[in-house]
Amino acid sequence: MIHKLLKTKKFIPNEFHDTFFDIDFENLYQKGYRVILTDLDNTLITYDELVPTEKIIKKLDSLRKLGFEVVIISNNHPPRIKSFLKETDYKGIGNARKPLSVGIKKALKLTNHTYSKDQVIIIGDQLMTDVYGANRFSVYSILVNPIKRKTEKWYTKINRKIEVKMLEKIKSKELEKYNELNLSKRV
């Protein structure tokens, strides 16, 4: 299978949290990170939601107040991203083609400043797209559990099956890191 061809280390996130809200953003800011590129579907909202919740807007606003630039980066279609962004003044791109770097580069061009890679964080719920893309691009990667798997698209469900195999591979080859990140809590 495909997971056997891929290098395990490229799929290990720098951090793993249950939700976007569990991430210690103040600590990350103190460490020098300034840009958050975050996935949309099942990271911030479920596939069956179209607009951000009040909780998400408050969180994004608090990140901006802290000093972060936040950009939404999604593999979903641009109209999906536009419907989410319409309710906010945040920027974002669709059809990002993660794990390829083309979308990451486009998203970074939407920021107000030029940042070095060591100031960038990518957050997402998928090991095969978000974490792998971040690690291939050499930026900090944070994996979160998906909000609601029931509504995922068929292609995401395929990625989830590959992800299970990759997590098993990480556990067998990088047990210390697997335990340190608490990846056994991955749903």
Q: What is the pLDDT of residues 28-78, one digit of tens each?
A: 999 999 999 999 999 999 988 888 999 999 999 999 999 999 999 999 999
Tokens 């292609």 sit on residue = 155
Indicate whether 69 belongs to any domain.
yes
Alpha-carbon dihedral angle through residues 131, 132, 135, 140, given to the nearest 10 degrees: -10
Q: Which residue has the higher pLDDT, 87 or 139?
A: 139
Residue 52: CB atoms within 10 Å: 22
Per-residue confidence (pLDDT) for residue 3, from 0 to 100:
46
Length of the chain: 187
Domains of the chain: total: 1
Indicate whether 101 belongs to any domain.
yes
Q: pLDDT band at residue 105, thresholds of 50, 70 and 90?
A: very high
Per-residue confidence (pLDDT) for residue 88, from 0 to 100:
87
Inter-CA distances, 122 with 33, 87, 114, 175, Å: 11, 22, 16, 23
**What is the phi/psi pair of residue 68, to 5°?**
-85, 150
Alpha carbons 187 and 182: distance in angstroms, whole number: 11
* Domain of residue 70, residue span: 2-182
> Is 1 a residue whose pLDDT tops 60?
no
Indicate whether 187 belongs to any domain.
no
- H helix or E strand, kind and range, residue 69: strand 69-73
Indicate whether 7 belongs to any domain.
yes
CATH number of the domain within which 37 lies:
3.40.50.1000
Per-chain mean pLDDT for the chain: 91
pLDDT, one tens digit per residue, over 125-151 is 999 999 999 999 999 999 999 987 677
Per-residue confidence (pLDDT) for residue 161, from 0 to 100:
83
**AA identity, residue 37:** L
